[in-house]
Structure 1
């Protein structure tokens, strides 16, 4: 488990010093329909903020629903959630919209983040390439999380790495976006990866 010391003491009852948790920002990104909203909702300790709208006929020619034919809503701005990793560390999660026409929001959502989760779905791996490229070009540390669920194709981590053309230096983990503990493990891996990057650059 990662521990981050806070340098922002506060005053408790009786004047004693108490630790104020350090807060960090992580972006949850990926293609359309890969499970970003589900991941934020599964792990958030508060009721997540969602900006979902119903899919309409106007988007039929734009949105690729292959593999997610039952999807009826989509994120149009962001998903927001919060999770306390330990008494000294609070994560704020910002889920990005997945449709290409909303990608102009990604730069704003990424400002101030220590790292990102690139969530991919084995049914539509090509939807992950844009997100991987986005964070690689900006030098933002990221972890590739493969959303595994019942009925999905089963591949090894190495097969997934080759298919996505992800460097060995980028962590790749298998997860279930519906499961809180699985999602927490992914977020801890992002923190560890970001801290390792800082150590290398120091």
Structure 2
């Protein structure tokens, strides 16, 4: 999914410093397999110019990285993507996109530190690459929602079919999205925040 075709925020991006009204900042990670649209999502929704660590793909990845569905991809994230979005005047989300290739997964542990929750971005053409991703989040106790990035040539499945295929419990939200569109990516983040709120309510003492 080409970042260049993503939505752009009208007018100049905001300054990098936090708004003076901000009272809370939350770290969110966006994870998923190679080429599922993590960099695109961060870029489409960030209110500041996103920081990316994309490098030109080289022969080192041939036979190692699964690029099915991303054969035209020429660059890849090797460390992280970073962006920021203000949900309200008081609440700011810091977004960290992880590298997708398995050979860079050793970087994930540091990115997961302090994360309140995660978005698992899924490509229906390659559902199998999501299992290790979700397993790592479960091991670290990071709550997550699943966002199905709707590629034009990707097969469509019902929510229940996806829940069964991904072996997800009934309480984990699944939402379709177009990572190129700011409103769609923001809806995913709002779904995650509502899910995190529901978990906090469940844990609150009566």
TM tier, smaller: 0.7 to 0.9
Give the CA deviation at 1:149.
2.9
Of the candidates 120, 139, 142, which is equivalent to residue 140 of structure 1? Answer: 142
CA distance in 2, matches of 1:181, 1:116: 18
1:11 corresponds to? none
- 1:28 partnered with 2:30: yes
Rg larger for: 1
TM-score, L = length of structure 2:
0.86
2:181 corresponds to? 179
CA distance in 1, matches of 2:21, 2:87: 15
Q: Is the 8 A contact 2:77 2:99 kept in 1?
A: yes
Q: Which has the higher strand share?
A: 1
Give the CA deviation at 1:147.
0.4
Q: Is the 8 A contact 1:42 1:178 kept in 2?
A: yes
Give the CA deviation at 1:20.
3.2
Secondary structure in 1 aligned to 2:52? strand
- 1:53 partnered with 2:55: yes
Q: Is the 8 A contact 2:22 2:92 kept in 1?
A: no
CA distance in 1, matches of 2:42, 2:198: 24
Give the CA deviation at 1:152.
2.1
- 1:170 partnered with 2:172: yes
Cα gap change, 1:41 to 1:197, in 2 (>3 Å):
same
Secondary structure in 2 aligned to 1:126? helix
Q: Is the 8 A contact 2:122 2:146 kept in 1?
A: yes
Q: Deviations over 1:37-94 (max 9, x none)?
A: 0000010011100001111112102111111111111100000000111111111000
CA distance in 2, matches of 1:170, 1:136: 12
Give the CA deviation at 1:19.
4.3
CA distance in 2, matches of 1:20, 1:124: 39
Runs of 4+ in 1 over 6 A off after TM superposition: none
How many equivalent residue pairs? 185
Secondary structure in 1 aligned to 2:26? strand
Cα gap change, 1:55 to 1:19, in 2 (>3 Å):
closer
Q: Is the 8 A contact 1:38 1:178 kept in 2?
A: yes
Instruction: For structure 2, list consecutive stretches of 5 or more residues without a partner in the other structure.
Output: 1-19
